[in-house]
Amino acid sequence: MTLVINGETVAVPDEVKTVGDLLAHFRLENKLCIVEVNVRIIQKHEYGTTVLCDGDRVEIVHFVGGG
């Protein structure tokens, strides 16, 4: 499947089916993230049930600490 992630076209493996799968693929499942799919913010409790489709536009913002 091909997604547009943060403005970049990215091919993801076939096992990536949901937002939760996508975050796990990029090892972000344990990070504080905000995810938007096709201009809709996805609530954390919906990550496992929000199915991605070829061509979806996904924005992922994760927070990093620093000083």
Residue 22 three-state SS = helix
pLDDT reported for residue 30? 87
For 38, the token pair is 């096709």
- 22 within a domain of the structure (yes/no): yes
Looking at residue 65, its pLDDT comes to: 74
11, pLDDT greater than 70? yes
**What's the structural domain count of the chain?**
1
Residue 19 lies in a domain: yes
Query: For residue 4, which amino acid is it?
Result: V
Report yes or no on 67 lying in a domain: no
In a domain, 36, yes or no: yes
Domain of 41 in residue numbering reads as 2-62
Which comes out higher in pLDDT, residue 66 or 5?
5
Which segments within the chain are labelled E, that is strand? 2-5, 8-11, 33-37, 40-42, 57-62
Q: Which two tokens stand for residue 8?
A: 């970049």
What CATH number corresponds to the domain at position 26?
Answer: 3.10.20.30
Q: In the structure, what pLDDT confidence band is assigned to residue 67 with cuts at 50, 70 and 90?
A: low
